[in-house]
Amino acid sequence: MRNRQQDKKTQETGATDEGSARYREILNAAAVLFAERGYHGTSVRDIGERVGLLGGSLYHHIKSKEALFVKLHNSALQAAGDEIEAAIAGLSSPWARLEAASVKLAELQLDPASITMPLMNDFRQLTPELQAQLIGTRDKFEAIFDRLVGELNLPPDIDRKIYRICLLTLLNSLWTWYRPGTLTPTEIGHEVMKIFLPRS
Amino acid sequence: MRNRQQDKKTQETGATDEGSARYREILNAAAVLFAERGYHGTSVRDIGERVGLLGGSLYHHIKSKEALFVKLHNSALQAAGDEIEAAIAGLSSPWARLEAASVKLAELQLDPASITMPLMNDFRQLTPELQAQLIGTRDKFEAIFDRLVGELNLPPDIDRKIYRICLLTLLNSLWTWYRPGTLTPTEIGHEVMKIFLPRS
DNA sequence: TTGACTGTATCGATCGTTTGGTACAGATGG
DNA sequence: CCATCTGTACCAAACGATCGATACAGTCAA
């Protein structure tokens, strides 16, 4: 028995280097892989390889694969929420505000440089305990669009909840089919909004 | 003289009991689990448990987990395509045809009794080789909606390709958020179509 | 010298898959 | 009628590979 005393365990808090460069590297690498291959399809060794570390060495920076995913998910949603709020800050027309928010979200989802939002939809592949850690952040994010849709003067026969879900689902799924080429992410965002804007 | 002729070669394709009751049981169980937890999140032992078999015993009926998924995917898409074609057969108005097709697809996606279409979107978690086996069937299915959208008299500023992708993405994602309650699958289908139909 | 960082090596669990064997149903042949 | 054979369907056990995670020793800058 080596450890009569439980030794210091410097990182028992679970919080590792919140802001180190290495940690952000890992966060970015994990974001790409989770987005490309899903949670279960990505191993910690895959992530390590992308940042030049062995799988086991990652655990000096992260607490667990699950914690990494939660951190990634929550901080991405938080950042996206902030950017969207900023994008609509100066606008007053309800339709203009919704369009600006949608376009901004499209840009965020399709920007390869940003930490994208892996598995915004579809976290069915995650364990229920993991899901529980994510719904809070997600609800808060969706509340932004809930508010924006609530301000709209929509035709009375349109269900606002379904309208909002559909818009968010589409924007969050853009990256599954978008390929850079003829249209920019911004243009894609406007194109999608054409479907949701009032016609006539 | 057992086989002077290579006899009828009933299952040379690697396909096992194409139509046995057990095989359909396995297909159904796998459909549910793949949809709930994704491909990697579902183990063959999980599937076996759902039909009262050990994981290894499944291999008397299936060739591999991948083959099971491919079979599931292709037959579901084939059946859905047939049902949608039947639903629009008697209609002539382009908008009525698209709406009928969409509602039918919504019903198929949300009917818990049918072999649903697991991971219609999002097969990024699959290996490229597996994906290659699916895109053919998928393209053929999407061609139905491509044709229907092509018949529409859409506003000229709307990109038809994006319009079609968005509609299909939404319909295929319904099950990720739909919960039985106030609205039936049919009503959900119509509700979604309200967004895509010409307003005013 | 210390503490942050990384490699080496390994753990137990689980993965998809294979193997050997068994129980049983129906044909076959003497 | 009985013995034998064949094929189906399954279980029990195990395979090698890989999973997330841990322990520990070495490296190196401060």
| pLDDT value at residue B17 | 60
What confidence category does residue B9 fall into, taking pLDDT thresholds of 50, 70 and 90?
A: very low
Cβ atoms of B162 and A192 closer than 8 Å:
yes
What is the pLDDT tens value at each position of chain A, 200 positions in all? 223 223 333 333 333 456 788 899 899 899 988 888 888 889 999 999 999 989 888 899 999 999 999 999 998 999 999 999 999 999 999 999 999 999 999 999 998 777 777 666 667 778 888 888 888 999 999 999 999 999 999 999 999 999 999 999 999 999 889 999 999 999 999 999 999 998 76
Distance separating alpha carbons of residues B119 and B172, to the nearest angstrom: 9
C-alpha span between B177 and A69 (Å, rounded): 22
- Tokens in use for B97? 């045809």
Which has the closest alpha carbon to B199: A147, A153, A171?
Answer: A153
Instruction: Read off the pLDDT band of B23 (50, 70, 90).
Output: very high
Give the whole-angstrom CA distance, residue B94 versus residue B198: 12
Return the H-helix or E-strand segment holding A186: helix A185-196
pLDDT in tens, B70-102: 999 998 999 999 999 999 999 999 999 999 999
Residues 125-144 of A with CB under 8 A from B: 125-126
Structure tokens at B126: 């699959």
Alpha helices by DSSP H, listed for B6-127, are 21-37, 44-50, 65-88, 94-110
Name the residue in chain A with its Cα closest to that of B34. Answer: A125
CA B21 to chain centre: 20
Determine if residue A108 is left, alpha or beta; phi over 0 gives left, psi from -120 to 50 gives alpha, anything else beta.
Answer: alpha
Predicted confidence band at B200 (pLDDT cuts at 50, 70, 90)?
low
- Of A35-49, B41-55, B117-131, B177-191, the one with minimum mean pLDDT is B117-131
Instruction: For A121, name the nearest residue in chain B, comparing CA atoms only.
Output: B176
In the block, residue with structure tokens 């992260």 = A62
Asked if pLDDT for residue B15 goes beyond 80, the answer is no
Q: In this complex, do A173 and B35 lie within 8 Å of one another by their Cβ atoms?
A: no
B165 at A interface, C-beta within 8 A: yes
pTM comes to 0.85
**Residues B29-77: tens digit of each pLDDT:** 999 898 888 888 899 999 999 999 998 899 999 999 999 999 999 989 9
Name the nucleotide with the smallest C1'–CA separation from A42: D19
Contact B124 A36 (CB under 8 A): yes
Contact B140, B81 (CB under 8 A): yes
Measured between its terminal Cα atoms, the distance across chain A in Å is 79
What domains does chain B contain, in order, with CATH numbers?
14-63 (1.10.10.60), 66-196 (1.10.357.10)
